[in-house]
Structure 1
Amino acid sequence: MKRLIILSDMWGAAKSEWPDHYIGKLRGQFEVAYYDSRTLANIPDHIQNEEALHGHFVNGGADRAVVELLKLETEAEFILGFSIGGWIAWKACLAGLNVQDLVAVSATRLRHETRRPSAWISLFYGSLDPFIPGDAWFVAMGVRPILYRGESHGMYEQERIASDVCGHLVEQRR
């Protein structure tokens, strides 16, 4: 069975039930390893403010998460990351995590990246998310985004979106 690494958004497992939409659908198709991005980044539990939490990731937390992930994983066929988890996945691939396919959902921090991992890349975004990378970035990275009209950043919490993303992963697995 092919290995799939899943990385949470910045809230991690404590504030989230939506990862079950993905894990439940994918567990029979893949050997799933789920990681809490917040735990990987070693961000204290008392940080609950969205702006402060985001700041922790941007100011070194994402890099700490990459280091920790690389201690736990060296290769997998697939990696799926949500929001900040997609950014961590991208950075981990650049830092040596060997994956065939990188799938990121609402990973808006990618707009600051200037290097592309060698993996096959699929990026999902809501068209109403104000922080989607610009068209020039997608061209420079050689990636065509999959856009959901009328959806915003948190679209990945919806079961309908989970079904689409999981279907995409299962197709890529073949």
Structure 2
Amino acid sequence: MAKPKLLILSDLFGGQHPEWINYYTDTLRSKFEIQYYDVLELACIDASNLVEADIHKQFLDGGIDKAVETLLKLETDKVTVLGFSIGGTIAWKASLQGLKTTHLFAVSSTRLRYETEAPNCEIKLFFGDQDSNKPNSNWFLDLKIPSEILQDQNHQLYLEEKNATAICAEILKVTL
């Protein structure tokens, strides 16, 4: 039997295969066919000489929409998606626009706090309790979204192996 497909969408910094992504792929590869996407490539952003604020601005000035459009062209079958930071926001918006998402896992996707509609799929969000930009509790209640708030963690909690292990365990528990 073919493994279900898992899309992994990078954070703002992208990269061909950032080291920390291995925490996820090494664990999830046994149960999923994994497709990794660098969101900078999806959005056609050249970040080679840019600082974080400039990259962020490019995503807000059409990059998110471009990444969603590109992803929708590339992926036409049912998928599970794991997105980090801006990657989770791109996954959310793509799911609203027709990406056939069965499960959406987003980690530190703080821009979701501006969303007023949830995609029609299983959703689980992860945030650090010290991430000042995470959605407030009313947002989760209004959209009926389950979340996991990791204690003593900040925005880049996904870079730590112990957090990756916990997130992967949750993905495997929920999807299989």
TM-score of Structure 1 vs Structure 2, range by shorter chain: over 0.9
3-state SS in 2 of match to 1:153: coil
Q: Deviations over 1:70-116 (max 9, x none)?
A: 11102333100000000000000001001111000000000011111
Distance 1:151 1:11 in 2: 19
Runs (4+) of structure 1 exceeding 4 A deviation are none
Question: Pick from 115, 118, 136: which aligns with 1:116?
Answer: 118
Matched ranges for 1:83-98 at <5 A: 83-98=85-100
CA contact (8 A) 1:5 1:76 kept: no
Matched ranges for 1:155-170 at <5 A: 155-170=157-172
CA contact (8 A) 1:124 1:146 kept: yes
Alpha-carbon offset, residue 2 of structure 1: 1.0
Distance 1:144 1:72 in 2: 28
- Give the aligned residue type for 1:162: A
3-state SS in 2 of match to 1:97: coil
Task: Identify the residue that residue 71 of structure 1 maps to in structure 2.
Answer: 73
CA contact (8 A) 2:47 2:55 kept: no
Percent identity between the two aligned chains: 41
Which sections of structure 2, spanning at least 5 residues, go unmatched?
A: none
Q: TM-score, normalised by structure 2?
A: 0.95
Cα root mean square deviation, aligned: 1.2
Task: Identify the residue that residue 151 of structure 1 maps to in structure 2.
Answer: 153
Q: TM-score, normalised by structure 1?
A: 0.96
Alpha-carbon offset, residue 50 of structure 1: 0.7
CA contact (8 A) 1:4 1:76 kept: no
Task: Identify the residue that residue 102 of structure 1 maps to in structure 2.
Answer: 104
CA contact (8 A) 1:122 1:143 kept: yes
